[in-house]
Amino acid sequence: MTESWATFGADLHLDLTAGRGLRAGLTEALREAARSGRLAAGTRLPSSRTLAADLGIARNTVAEAYAELVAEGWLTARQGSGTRVAERARPRRPAATAPVRRPARKGPAYSLIPGSPDLGGFPRAAWLSAARRALTDAPNEAFGYAADPRGRIELRQALAGYLARARGVYADPERIVLCAGFLHGLAVLAGVLRARRVREVAVEGYGLDFHRDLLVRAGLRTRPLGVDGEGARTGELTAAAGAVLLTPAHQFPTGVALTPARRAAAVDWARTTGGLILEDDYDGEFRYDRQPVDPTPWQLGERRNSRQRLPVGALQALDPDRVIYLGTASKSLAPGLRLGWMVVPPGLMEEVTAAKGFADWASSTLDQLTLAEFIRSGAYDRHVRRMRLQYQRRRNELIARLASEAPHLRVSGVAAGLHIVLELPPGTERDVIRSAARQGLALHGLSYFRHPDAVGPHADGLVVGYGTPTDSLWSGALDALMRALPAP
C-alpha cells in the first residue's frame, strides 16, 4: 500500500541550501534539523519514497542522504521501526554559567485561611459519572462555539429549580447568566454600572480586598458601610452610591446575618434611589442554624434559642427587580471549576449580556452540562449534605478545643459558613499572627479584611477558616492554632 505523507504528521519544512546538489542539500538540511533540535531525538522520518514524492526528487537521492546520516550517527534505521533521529543527536547549546541557586521557599505546613473548601472532599467519582452521562446526552451543537452569552440552557434550568428550592431565589432560567466565578460576574456588573454612569459603590466595611480592587480598577469608588452584630449598616446608604455589594446571609468575614430590618432598609434604599443591590451568597448552602450551638453556647455570643432559628434565605426574594443574586460552585464543590451564576433583573438582562460578550467564552460547555446533570441527579444535594456535616463536625471540634484551652477568648459567627471569628485582646492580633507563622500555620486577622477608609474602633481578632485543611492536616492545624493563642 502506498505510504501517505499524512502518516508522519506535519511537513518537515526542510530548507534545501541553494547552489548545492540535491543530495548534499538534503543531507545538510536534515543534519541541521537534528543538530538544532528542531527534529527531536526519536522523531520518525517519512520513508524515502514519501519524502521524495513530497520534495519532487528521486527516491535514490533521499535514500543516499538517509544512508549518509545513519553512517554519521545522526539517524538510525531499523527494520520495522523506520528511520528515526538518533538519541545521541542532541542540540548543542552554548555553555552557560551555573544558575544561581536560591533557597526554596517553604510554605506553611498548615492553613486556616478562610475562603476555601476542603479540596480533598471533591466528589471525583460522582462528578465523573455525571460527566459521562452529560457527554453521552450532549447534543452535537454543544461542542461548537457557544452563541448564547447566558450559558447552556440545561444548567440554567437546573439552577433555577435548585436556587428556588434551597435559597428562596426567584430564578427564571431566562434570567440566569452563567459566569466563570464570582469575580467574573462582578467584573461584568462593574462594566454595567460604569455604562450607567455610576461612580460609587457601597461595600461592607469588612470584606475581601480583591473585590474592592476590582471595582476600583473599573473606575468605581468604594465607600465602606459600618458592620456590627446585625450586619452591614444599610441605614448609612445614600443616593451617592449607585449600587451596594452585600453578603447578607453570612457577612464575610464577621459571620453575622443581615437582620430583617436592615434587609428592608437596603431594599427601600434601592427602590427610592434606583440603586442596585449585588448579593454575594458565597456559602449559602452551609448553614447550621437548625442544630443547637454546641458545646459552648454561653461562650459564643449567640442567642440561646438557636433551635428556633431558621436558615437565612437570599435577600433577592424581597425585590427581584432591584437585587442581582450571585452564587458559585467555588465553596460547595471547588473553585477550580470556575462556575458561577447571576440571577439578573429583567430590566438589566440586555445590559448584562452585552457586557459579558456575544459568546459564552468564560467556562467550559462540558463543565456546564456536567454540573447540570450533577444537580438534576441529586448528587449535588448529597454532596452538600455530606460536606455540611463534615464542616459542622470541624466547627464543633474547633469550638470544643477553644472552650477547653482558651476559654478566655470569645467566638462568634458560628451559625454558617466555613470560618469563625475569634476575638482577641486589644493590640494582640499582629503578635498572634506572627506566633502562628512560627508554628507553621497561615492565619488572617480581622484587620486583613478591613476597608482602608473604614471608620470606628478596630477590633482585634482571627478569622479562622476550618474548611481549608484536608482531613489529614486538620488535627495538626488545630494544635498549631492552640499553641499560637495568647494566654489569659
User: What pLDDT, in 10s, does the model give residues 215-256?
Assistant: 999 999 999 999 999 999 999 999 999 999 999 998 999 999
Contacts 24+ apart (CB under 8 A), 235-240: 235/262, 235/265, 236/202, 237/202, 237/265, 237/266, 237/269, 237/273, 237/275, 239/273, 239/275, 240/200
**Co-location of 250 and 298 in the same domain:** yes
pLDDT of residue 292: 34
Which of 133, 124, 121 is CA-nearest to residue 373?
133
Range list of H helices, 177-231: 182-195, 209-217
**Co-location of 360 and 427 in the same domain:** no
List CB contacts of 186: < 8 A, sequence separation 6 or more: 211, 214, 215, 245, 278, 326
Q: Look at strands 176-179 and 441-442 and give their pairing.
A: unpaired
Q: Is 422 helix (H, G, I), strand (E, B) or coil?
A: strand
The Cα–Cα gap between 464 and 424 comes to 12
Q: Is residue 163 part of a domain?
A: yes
Q: Which grid cell is 27?
A: 543531507
Q: Is residue 132 part of a domain?
A: yes
List CB contacts of 321: < 8 A, sequence separation 6 or more: 345, 346, 347
- The residue range of the domain holding 434 is 383-484
**Co-location of 363 and 299 in the same domain:** yes
**Co-location of 219 and 76 in the same domain:** no
Q: Which of 85, 106, 135 is the last residue of a domain?
A: 85
234: CATH = 3.40.640.10
pLDDT of residue 385: 94
**Co-location of 362 and 428 in the same domain:** no
DSSP single-letter state for residue 326: E
Which of 179, 176, 186, 167 is CA-nearest to residue 316?
167
**Co-location of 364 and 416 in the same domain:** no
**Co-location of 362 and 435 in the same domain:** no
Q: Is residue 205 part of a domain?
A: yes
Largest Cα–Cα distance of the chain, in whole Å?
96
Domains: count for the chain: 3
R_g of the chain computed on alpha carbons: 31
387: CATH = 3.90.1150.10
- Per the listing, cell 555553555 goes with 95
Q: Is residue 204 part of a domain?
A: yes
Q: Is residue 333 part of a domain?
A: yes
Strand (E) or helix (H) holding 244 = strand 243-246
Write the Ramachandran bin of 417: left for phi over 0, alpha for psi from -120 to 50, otherwise beta: left
Residue 398 CB coordination number (10 Å): 23
Instruction: Please name the amino acid found at residue 226.
Output: G
Q: Is the dihedral of CA 397, 414, 163, 200 positive or negative?
A: negative
408-460 pLDDT per residue, tens = 999 998 888 899 999 999 999 999 999 999 999 999 999 999 999 998 778 89
**Co-location of 45 and 154 in the same domain:** no
**Co-location of 148 and 33 in the same domain:** no
Q: Which of 85, 103, 135 is the last residue of a domain?
A: 85
The Cα–Cα gap between 411 and 67 comes to 80
List CB contacts of 268: < 8 A, sequence separation 6 or more: none
pLDDT of residue 313: 84
**Co-location of 54 and 129 in the same domain:** no
pLDDT lower than 50: segments of the chain: 1-10, 291-310
73: CATH = 1.10.10.10
Q: Which of 328, 346, 377 is the last residue of a domain?
A: 377
Q: Is residue 367 part of a domain?
A: yes
**Co-location of 410 and 286 in the same domain:** no
**Co-location of 137 and 174 in the same domain:** yes
C-alpha separations of 103 from 97, 100, 106 in Å: 18, 10, 9
Q: Is residue 105 part of a domain?
A: no
pLDDT of residue 156: 97
Q: Using omega within 30 degrees of 0 as the cis cutoff, is the peptide bond preceding 224 cis?
A: no
Q: Is 93 helix (H, G, I), strand (E, B) or coil?
A: coil
